[in-house]
Amino acid sequence: MRTLVPYRPGRASIFDGLDHIFDSFFAEPPAARNRAPAVDIREEGDGYLVHADLPGVAEQDLKVSIDDNVLTISANADGQGERTSEGYLVRERRQTSFTRSFVLPGDADHEGVGAEFKDGLLTLRVPKNQASKARQIPINAG
């Protein structure tokens, strides 16, 4: 057997082999279509917590920045680990680059952001400004 063809139930045609050639040439595999990481963001009492799933991303390829109230998570995989593509029958796992950006709320403290990367999970802690916290305003009798 020289090639593996994806199983497509209910489809039987003399053109299946030709369809496969065109599909694989013009379309990316399903795993490569959405390369942006899944991100969860939640508000905690004194700040915001960001979790990003980054399996297979090396810490040295990861970049987190804040510019003009926009938080950006990006990775630039240069593909140096990929030496040859010979011998693959199906290849859906690839090194990839991505960028995700989020507008931070007005009460976010840009200077206090902390980042931790462990086991493919990026955790960002974005504290709130002290000035934005609720406080009582004294009323002067006049």
Domain ranges of the chain: 36-131
pLDDT tens-digit map of 87-137: 777 777 666 788 999 999 888 999 999 999 999 999 999 999 877 666 788
Gap between the Cα atoms of 121 and 127, Å rounded: 19
As its CATH architecture, domain 36-131 has Sandwich (2.60)
What's the pLDDT score for residue 48?
Answer: 94
Gap between the Cα atoms of 53 and 72, Å rounded: 14
| pLDDT > 60? residue 6 | no
Share of the chain above pLDDT 70, in %: 64
What's the pLDDT score for residue 63?
Answer: 95
Overall average pLDDT of the 58-74 stretch: 92
Structure tokens at 57: 């991303």
